[in-house]
Amino acid sequence: MVNITRGKKFTAHFKKRIHPHKELVRLYQEQIKLFIEDRNDPALNDHALSGKLQGSRAFNITEDIRVIYLERGEKSFIFLNVGTHKQVYGK
Instruction: Output the domain CATH number for residue 63.
Output: 3.30.2310.20
- For residues 9-20, give the mean pLDDT: 98
DSSP 26: H
Q: What are phi and psi of 65, to 5 degrees?
A: -95, 130
Our count of domains for the chain comes to 1
Share of the chain above pLDDT 70, in %: 100
- For residues 9-23, give the mean pLDDT: 97
Distance CA 55, CA 74 (A): 15
Whether residue 82 contacts residue 88, with contact meaning beta carbons closer than 8 Å, is answered with yes
Residue 17 CB-half CA count within 13 A: 20
Average pLDDT of every residue of the chain: 96
Classified as helix, coil or strand, 56 is coil
In total, the chain counts a number of residues equal to 91
- For residues 41-62, give the mean pLDDT: 96
Domain range spanning residue 16?
3-89
| Model pLDDT for residues 23-49, shown as the tens digit of each residue | 999 999 999 999 999 999 999 999 999
